[in-house]
Structure formats: C-alpha cells, structure tokens
Structure 1
Amino acid sequence: MTTSRVRIAALITLTTAALAIAPAASAAPKGIDWGPCPAGSRPGYDCAEIQVPLSYQDPNGPRVTIALGRLPATDQKNKRGTIFTNPGGPGNPGRFTKFQTPSLHRQFDIVGFDPRGVGASTPVHCFANDAETEPLKRVLGKFPITAEQETRHLADVREVAASCGRNAGPLLGHLSTANVARDLDRLREAAGEAKLRYYGLSYGTYLGEVYANLFPQRVGALALDAVDDPIAWSTGHRPAGAKVPFSTRLGGFRDADRALNAFLDVCAADVRCAFREPGTDLRAKYDALLDRLEAAPGAITYQDVIGRTHNALTDEANSRSLAEFLQGATKQASAKAIVTPFDSALGGGGTICADTTNPRDPAAWPRAAREADRASRGFGSYDTYLSLPCAFWPVSDPARYTGPWNRPTAPILLLANGKGDPETPYAGAKRTERILGNARLLTLDAWGHGAANRSACVDAALDGYLAYGRLPARDTVCAPDHAPFDAR
C-alpha cells in the first residue's frame, strides 16, 4: 500500500474527466501496437493501449482501455522476453516503471500499465465539480484524535463515498484485483508470452498473489516485494477478522513501531543524526514530542508527526530528513522550515473496498483505532482510518477473489524488510511464504518498504530468479548497500 503504497484514504482517482467505456468488440487479444508516448512522458519508452472487458462475466460486452508503457531491452537481438510490473497502490499509475536492474533491462522488455480506473487507462469519475472534492481534501492523509475531529472526519468520508456512488458509473463495480489480474493475463497473451514474468511492489504483491491463484499454470516467475498477506487483505484469518477494518487487520502499525525503534537505535549511535542527544532515551524524547502536540498543537500537529514519520520510515534513505524533521518539531520550528521530501503522493482507486471484508458500522473504526494505538501509538490510528471509506462504499464487485491461496505454481520469490515495514509487515511476508503453494522468502536486513535496488545481494537474486528461475537459498538474509545515514 507508496513512494510505497498510496494512502488508502484516497480510494478514488482525482479526476473529473468523463468515463469512457467503449462498446463491445472482439474478446480475443490481438497483440500490442507499440508507438510513441504522449509528449512529456518519460524518455526511452514506447506506449500502447489495449481494450479489455469491463466485466469478465460478460467478455463480449462493453470494454475499458488499459494504457501500457514499454522500456525496451537494450539488447534487442538477444532479448529473452517481457517482464510486467506493478508499482503498488492500489491507484498508482504504472506505465513508466521505476523497476529495473542493468541485467534485466538488457535482457527483457519491461512493461508497466495503468490499472483500470487509474491514470491514462479508463478512469474512475467520482466528482462532478471541484466543490465535491472539498470533503476529500479535508480527510486525505489525515486521521482524527478528538471526538469533534472524529465526527467531522466520518461525515466527510461518507460524502466522498456518496460522490463516487453518484458519479462513477459502471466501472466502480468492476475494480477488484481479480479483474486487474484478468487484465494482466490479457496483456501477457497480447505480448506473446506463454507464462508471466512479473515484479510487483506492495499492493502489486497482492495482484501477483491473485494472479497466481487464478492462473496457476501461467506463472513463470513472480517476484513479490513488500508482501501483502492475501488472507489478511481479503477476509482475515478468522471469522472475527470481518469485524476489524481491513487496514487495521494488515498490522502495518506494528512494523511502523519496529521500524521507528530501529531508526532511533541507529540515530543514537550516529553523530550525523540531528535528533541524537547523548544520554537521552530517544524513544522517550519522541513520546514527549507527541505528548506536547497532543495537548497543544501548533504549526506542527500530532498527526503531522505521525504521518511524516510513518512515510519516512518507508526507506532508510530518509533517515537524515526524518531526524531533521523530528528535531525541528521538538524545538518548535515552523512547519515551513522542515524539509520532508518523503511525503507520499496521494491518489487511489475503488479497488480496496471491492477486495476487502470490512465492518459496515463506521463506529468500528474509532474502536479499532484506539485498540491499535495501544500497540503502536499514533500509527494505529493512522492505519485504521485509511480504510474508513469502506464503511460507506456504495458498490461491490461480484468478481472479487477470496481464495484459495495455495494453488500449486512455479516457484514464487518473496522479498521483505526484516527490521520493519510500516506498510506491509514482515510477519505478513513470513505468513505468506507458508500460505502460497510454492514460495521462498528473501529478507533484506533493513527497515523500509521494498527491497529492490537497495542491495546488490537482493538485485542479484532478482536477476537470477526473473531471468533463469533460480531461487536464493532458504532463509537468505541480504545486507543493504548503505547505512541509514550514509549520503546517497
């Protein structure tokens, strides 16, 4: 879920463009007609569009458009095929992928796509005018900590969901990951690949898990980085899980706390850390900051510290900026004086509520937030309220997939950060290794969200796996290339 995963609070695409659903056409893929990308696109890419069914239960019915981008292999003469990618979200545009290694870029075309409802693909249309976006602006990336804030937050989220129900049209009921996985299978077929080679990050791992269980015989090599537990995502491991908001059920707040403690431990030992204070317990210093802001918010609020700390912990490379932010907040510096380049982009799609079991009583969210905060202060509320729109979501998707998750496949490679991942917790990756029919977990000895391109050891494992199907030895742990406070 961006830099890492897009905030789940933004469950709709921010667009007022008209929803264009094409009339029925032939159901069979006809190849991909690559051509120039639109002006201003990332250099070096080709672009294309392909039409897929709005509903796979009506394969000859109305169509939607999927927009693709291709980074061609540098050695076209000896090209070995195509690697498809998804950057997470759900709701992140994915045509122009950031994923590659020099070896994979040489041997493979790397193809990304904007999932249905997102970006240059057929978009979701939730707002008829700018005025209807005001409730979204008030809740986006925020969570309440007082009764008054809670009342306003619930009312605003209810109105956001109602706007989608009024304006989005039929696509809103066909955004489940199962449909995205079926779209991906159409792309694989159109590209002429007998089996799928794929790298997915964060939510992209859930897409890979759904694909593997819908099309187990078509799995070639799936590398899933920052792993979502598919049972926790979709339904919960026990019947009581249905009474817990999806975003609480995932448990990312616990790993956010683990990552924070790992950061503070490194900070205490590194003179380059601005938050360092010899002889001071840095967790107590951090908690004292929260105490002050909870009692008397100023230019910087309690929610600012929680949100910015959470987002910074998605990458160890943010350590210097996080330390400067926390020290500035402690000294009551103005918000404008604090540089926070790690704030996440916001966007999203109705995929979350189409995929996941959630309570229908909005009061379940404040209860769950308070309970989660007892395990991980602030991060529990931050995570829990991300899925509040699902209490009011106006549609469901009959194509939703809820298992089984253990169909036999070719080997699947899982990647995870052992010191804590605030978005997709390490414990969930370990569970997923046991849940899937044939999976192997590779651990990066770091905190953060995503392991690729942070360690030569990890990248070598990705090269061997995606090119040749070679798995690393069981229980392999890779070291990162840089310490947290190293210059990049």
Structure 2
Amino acid sequence: MNLRVALALGTATLTVGAVAPAAAASPPGVVWEDSCTAGYECGHLDVPLSYQDSSPETVRLAIARLPATDQARKLGTIFSNPGGPGSPGRFAPALTPALHARFDIVGFDPRGVGASSKIHCFTDPAQLAVLQRALGTFPLSREAEQQQIGDTKTVTDLCEQNAGPLANHLSTGTIARDLDRLRAAFGEPKLRYYGKSYGTYLGETYANLFPDRVGRLALDAVDDPARWATGPGPMSYRLQGFSDAPRALQSFLDACAARCTFDYHEILDRLERGPITVTDPAGHQVAVTYQSAIARIHTYLTDAGAAPTLMAFLQALADPASPAPPSPGGPPDADSLLGGGATLCSDAANPRDPAVWWDYARRADRVGRGFGPYDVYKTLPCATWNVTDTGRYAGPWNRPTAPILLLANRQGDLETPYAGAQRTERLLGNARLLSLDTYGHGSRGKSACIDAWLDRYFVTGAVPPAGTLCVPDHRPFG
C-alpha cells in the first residue's frame, strides 16, 4: 500500500507541452485531446458510474499513451498503474528501453484521482487545515489521539456531505472493470499490465475478475490481496508494512557503518522528548517532530538510492549544526488523496470504532518503532467514513490464469513487505516471484537482471526459475 500523505497540502498541476505525433490508431471510445505533455498523446474515456445498475451516469478517465518508438515492429499495448490509491498514473514511464520500443504504454488516472472524475469534500479552502491535522501523522498521547479522531471525523463528515455519488463507486473492483474497458477500447484481447504497490492489488483484482483475459501481468512491490480485503483489525495493521521497517533500516545502517557517527535510537529518544530544530538548505530553521521524522525516514527507506540523503537527515538530527536535506516530495492534491481514501475504505474490512487504532498502533510500534503507528493510523478515516461500493471484490484470489510475474525486494519493503509477496505467490492461481537483493519499494529500474526478465516476460511470457534472486545495479552509497 502506497497512500502517501503529506502535512502540507496543495493542488496538483498538469504540465502541458507539445503534442506528440500520432503514431498509432485511435481506439474506439477514446476521445483524443489537443494538448498534452511532450512525448505523450492525451485523451479520455467515459465509463459507467456503476457496473451493477443501469444508471446512465458516467465518469471520465484521463489517459495518456506513450507510443512505441518502433511502430513497425510494435507488439501491442502495456497498461500501467504506479500505486496509491490516490496517485495519478496518466503519464506512465517507459518501463524499460526495450518495452518502450515494442509497446505503446498507456497510463490512466483512476476514477477519483488526478484529471479523471473526482470527489470534492471541501466547500471552503479553510477546511483544508483540518485535513493537515488529521492525516499523515499519528498520536503520541491519549489527548492527541482524541484530537486526531475528532479531526478525522470532521474530514469524513465533510466527504459524506459533499462528495456525491462517485464516493460509493471507487472500489478497486470497479476500477478493475474500468481497466477492462480500457483494454477493450485499445483493441487488446488480453491485458498486458505493469502495476506497482497498490497497482499490484488492482492487477490481482483484475486477474480474478477476468481470469480468461489475463495476458501478461507484472506486479511490482506486491500487496497481499487477502489481507488487504479481509481480516480482523485495521487493514493497515494486517498488511504489516512496518514489519519490514527494521530489516530495511538495518540494511541501511549496515551499509552506513563506515560513514555514520550517529546513534539512530538515541535520535528517536530525543525526538520523543520534543522537536529538534535543524537548518534547511535555504538557511531556515525547521522544527522536526518525532512524527515528521518518522515520515521522512520512511520515505527515504523506500529507495536504497536515497541512503546518502537519509544519512544527511539523521546526521542533522544528531548534530543540528549539520545541514539538513530538503523535505522529500511535494504537496498532494487533496481531492485525489481523498478519492484514494474512498477506494481504501471501500475495499477493506476495518473496525468501526476509531478507538481501537490506539492498541493496534502500540502493538505495531513494538515491531517497528515509529513506523508501526505511522502505518496503522493511515486507515483511521475508514472507521468513520461510510463508503460502500457494490462493485467491491474481496476474493477468491486463486482463479487459474496465465503466468503472473511478481517482483519484490528481499531486504525489506516498508510499504509492501516481502513476506506478503511470498504469500501472494502461493495464493494466486499461477504466479512466480522474482526477488531483488536490496531494500526499498519497487524493483523495476534498479537491476539489469530484473529489467531483462521484465522484457522477456512481456515479449514471450517466460517467467524465471523458482527462487531466482537478482542483484541491484548499485548498492547504497555505491
């Protein structure tokens, strides 16, 4: 699960550039637009609001196509989703040079997100302040817990009042049916698809709704679909991302041993007593709280290539005279964020009593200090947000399909733990796990071995031998 939440919120901006030359036939039902980000072709497809009733209402999916560079030898289309829920996916990456040459790559903003039809929870910009307090953090005291529960309920109440009917048609089951409409619109008899993080859950759902239409599905940073959809406790606890945090952190600390002079747990002890003031690259004094430090460390640990930045951040906390790196990422689109939240809450069984999150967070904290409550409280809105979608899919997950390729990082993934990928290999009807010997979130683009297997899989359908382990192209600090 990759539902990223920042403490500062804003509005996403779509970059518009030159129109790419039309390089492929226009699929029926897709309306192409006059302007787009350079290199892509932009369009949209209207799909039913609901696949369960005969309502004439529709929602709009924003799509973009990255044309194959070798159109004469093009093999078809690969659809892509980067994760979330709540993350735009319209402008998909090239995946690998070989795949960019032989396939059109089509990305889309799922319903509720980005330039697709969205929900709107707020009627006044001032209401965004409560969202900043409610999401992206976790309480350290009972008093703070009550405040967060109250703020979160204010947000979910506003969504129930203002979001409209779309909020009850945002489950992954419904989005998977949208993906099947996209497949058909582009004339593909079978689905070729690359999904990362939440995109793996979308792929798993598609595979079990439409097993006969599975062509090649590569699922990178694998969510366990059974634990996502069902089970006791908050879904964010069931997925156990925090259980990989100590493994990923230790991999980082081992790689940093010859360079790092700080004591990681001593830094956390100091932060628990109160904020630490650091100096940002612009020379401004910034107060770092325990919660905001955990959020930044979590982000840096999702990419082993960010090890030097994480080292600099921890050094600044240990010695405030050291310069701190800039904060990672930018502000999310609040409407897309809450659209993704509606997907999360529609998909997953969660308790209806917000008070139970405290005990689950404490339990998780004993496994992954700081990371446990940071993870667990991501789903607190699901306790008070009454969203339901009759299109929800909750299993079974083992329908026979063509081979599905799973990718995962063996040394730890704080968003989608390695053990979840191992369970999913056994759970799906026909899956093979390919592992990368590093930590972080996602394997594509980090290893020539991984990318070569992706190329081979999409072109021929071949999967690696069981137990194959790839090495990364670069080690932390390497």
- TM (norm. structure 2) is 0.90
Which residue does the alignment assign to 1:262?
251
Displacement of 1:58 after TM fit? 2.0
Deviations 1:44-85 (A, max 9, x none): 000111111000012552111111000000011111100000
**Is the 8 Å Cα contact of residues 321 and 340 (structure 1) preserved in structure 2?**
no
Which residue does the alignment assign to 2:347?
355
SS in 1 for 2:192: strand
Residue 339 (structure 2) pairs with residue 339 (structure 1): no
Which residue does the alignment assign to 2:467?
475
2:28 and 2:60 map into 1 onto residues whose CA distance is 14
Larger mean Cα displacement after TM superposition, 50-59 or 86-95: 50-59
1:340 and 1:460 map into 2 onto residues whose CA distance is 34
Q: Which runs of 5+ in 2 are unaligned?
A: 13-25, 277-286
Does the C-alpha gap of structure 1 residues 47 and 32 become closer, same or farther in structure 2, counting only changes over 3 Å? farther
Larger mean Cα displacement after TM superposition, 394-403 or 471-480: 394-403
Residue 306 (structure 2) pairs with residue 318 (structure 1): yes
CA RMSD of aligned residues (A): 1.9
Which residue does the alignment assign to 2:282?
none
Larger mean Cα displacement after TM superposition, 417-426 or 372-381: 372-381
Mapping of 1:55-204 within 5 angstroms? 55-59=50-54, 61-204=56-199
1:366 and 1:151 map into 2 onto residues whose CA distance is 10
1:419 and 1:446 map into 2 onto residues whose CA distance is 5
SS in 2 for 1:100: coil
Residue 365 (structure 2) pairs with residue 369 (structure 1): no
Residue 271 (structure 2) pairs with residue 293 (structure 1): yes
Q: Partner amino acid for 2:248?
A: A
SS in 1 for 2:288: coil
Q: Which runs of 5+ in 1 are unaligned?
A: 16-28
Which residue does the alignment assign to 2:21?
none
Larger mean Cα displacement after TM superposition, 148-157 or 223-232: 148-157
Residue 19 (structure 2) pairs with residue 6 (structure 1): no
**Is the 8 Å Cα contact of residues 89 and 109 (structure 2) preserved in structure 1?**
yes
**Is the 8 Å Cα contact of residues 416 and 429 (structure 1) preserved in structure 2?**
yes
**Is the 8 Å Cα contact of residues 49 and 55 (structure 2) preserved in structure 1?**
no
Displacement of 1:468 after TM fit? 1.3
2:443 and 2:149 map into 1 onto residues whose CA distance is 36
| Pairing partner for 1:304 from 289, 292, 302 | 292
2:149 and 2:30 map into 1 onto residues whose CA distance is 46
SS in 2 for 1:480: coil
Residue 398 (structure 2) pairs with residue 421 (structure 1): no
Displacement of 1:474 after TM fit? 1.0
Displacement of 1:128 after TM fit? 1.0
1:175 and 1:287 map into 2 onto residues whose CA distance is 41
**Is the 8 Å Cα contact of residues 6 and 344 (structure 1) preserved in structure 2?**
no
**Is the 8 Å Cα contact of residues 212 and 409 (structure 1) preserved in structure 2?**
yes
Mapping of 1:186-265 within 5 angstroms? 186-236=181-231, 241=232, 244-265=233-254
2:34 and 2:436 map into 1 onto residues whose CA distance is 36
SS in 2 for 1:97: coil
- TM (norm. structure 1) is 0.88
**Is the 8 Å Cα contact of residues 13 and 124 (structure 1) preserved in structure 2?**
no
1:333 and 1:98 map into 2 onto residues whose CA distance is 39
Displacement of 1:33 after TM fit? 3.9
**Is the 8 Å Cα contact of residues 13 and 123 (structure 1) preserved in structure 2?**
no
Displacement of 1:188 after TM fit? 0.2
Deviations 1:140-179 (A, max 9, x none): 3211112222121111111111111010000000000000
Seq. identity, %: 57
Larger mean Cα displacement after TM superposition, 290-299 or 245-254: 290-299
Which residue does the alignment assign to 1:23?
none
Residue 447 (structure 2) pairs with residue 459 (structure 1): no
Deviations 1:236-292 (A, max 9, x none): 3xxxx2xx11101100001112100110011004xxx4xx13xxxx6xx11111111
Does the C-alpha gap of structure 1 residues 13 and 440 become closer, same or farther in structure 2, counting only changes over 3 Å? farther
1:111 and 1:453 map into 2 onto residues whose CA distance is 18
Which residue does the alignment assign to 1:400?
392
Residue 32 (structure 2) pairs with residue 47 (structure 1): no
SS in 2 for 1:471: coil
